[in-house]
Amino acid sequence: MATIRFEGQESEVPDGSRVMDVCEELGVPFGCHDGICGTCMSRVVEGMDNLEGKNDKEEDMGLAEGERLCCQCVIKGGVVEFSLD
């Protein structure tokens, strides 16, 4: 099982899961759910290596180092902590 943290809360998901549903439950704001609007852009505080690499939608968004779109992330395992700051 993998662990996703946001704003002092955490939830477990199976390894290899998309993080979108859990992040939404934990309070990450979402708009389109499809990697177009950038509303769910978050900074990865811990565990960047525990996420699959950026997909084409994230690359097209031009995200800075350490930033990801929660609607596009897949967690390989371990712990990943997101922050909006």
Query: What pLDDT does residue 45 have?
Result: 97
Domain count within the chain: 1
AA identity, residue 1? M
Q: Tell me the CATH number at 33.
A: 3.10.20.30
- The pTM assigned to this predicted structure is 0.93
In terms of residue numbers, what domain contains 73?
Answer: 2-83
AA identity, residue 77? G
Write out pLDDT tens, residues 2-60: 999 999 999 999 999 999 999 999 999 999 999 999 999 999 999 999 999 999 999 99
Write out pLDDT tens, residues 55-75: 999 999 999 999 999 999 999
Q: CA dihedral in degrees (7, 50, 40, 69; nearest 10)?
A: 160
